[in-house]
Amino acid sequence: MDTDLYMHSLSVANPLRESILRAAIETLQLPPGSRGLDAGCGIGLQSLLLGDAVGLTGHVTGLDVSTEFLNRGEEIVKEAGLSERISFQEGDVANIPFDNETFDWAWSSDCIGYGSWEPLPLVKELARVVKPGGIVAISGWSSENLLPGYPQLEARLRSTSGGIAPFIHGKNPKTHFLRALSWFRETGLKELDAKVFANSFHAPLSREIRNALVDLFNMRWPDVELELSSEDLSEFQRLRQPDSPDFILNLSDYYAFFTHTLFWGKIAK
């Protein structure tokens, strides 16, 4: 993975996701002045939203294994004037470098339930560092319709290795992200809940949203060349290339939506 390119993509795509993630965080009603963990924080874009949620006297610690991500996160937080409210720590979500009951809450997005890692130990590790009565929450991308008028092509794209992410062919169905409530129950969390958040866009698109969608096509369906038929690949390239006369974002009736799902529960008192 080209780290610089990936960080750039996260920034470009952020306008699509910021409002939906802010709504998810608001649903949790994090206590003002509380201290929390953003596990798998990436470049800190959600740490900013979490920092807003806990107010001037709260604090967010962003945790990630990537030094490059954390360095960029520190730059973003500094530019936002939130360095006193948000800090970063290098570390693995599977082995969080903090003592038991350190935080009032823990959040992780697009991390647990992704890749080949078993999700249950990761949820248990989040729960370990949260105080009794505190919140553990995970969220993730859960569905999309981005190619209006081409449902068969989009269905085939969804069945590619990238398209079914965060699932992986051959994984136990219980490890699928949308089975997260069972991980929470096995961890002993109480007051479990789940909610889906949707965001949609339609023509005419702003330049910012247009650029974000172009980047999203590449992030959502990477490396599909070997998994699509030549006919499907040709159609996909025709629709997603900005210099194509059939570029789908040029449609006067373009409409798209995606969903993000939040799961949360509380540590037993």
Q: Is the peptide bond before 242 cis (omega within 30 degrees of 0)?
A: no
Percent of the chain with pLDDT over 70: 98
CATH number for the domain spanning 219: value is 3.40.50.150
Parallel, antiparallel or unpaired: strands 190-202 and 255-266: antiparallel
Chain segment 95-151, per-residue pLDDT in tens: 999 999 999 999 999 999 877 789 999 999 999 999 999 999 999 999 999 999 999
Distance of CA 164 to the CA centre of its chain: 15
Which of the four pLDDT bands, split at 50, 70 and 90, describes residue 210? very high
- Please give the C-alpha separations between residue 247 and each of 31, 63, 236, 253, 255, in angstroms, as whole numbers: 45, 39, 10, 13, 13
Tally of CB atoms within 10 A around 102: 17
Residue numbers of the domain that contains 216: 3-266
pLDDT > 80? residue 168: no
For 61-108, what is the HEC assignment?
A: EEEECCHHHHHHHHHHHHHCCCCCCEEEEECECCECCCCCCCEEEEEE
Distance of CA 3 to the CA centre of its chain: 17
Please give the pLDDT value at position 87: 97
pTM for this one? Answer: 0.94
The count of structural domains within the chain is 1
pLDDT > 70? residue 1: no
As a whole number, mean pLDDT of residues 217-236 equals: 92
Mean pLDDT over each residue of the chain, to the nearest integer? 94
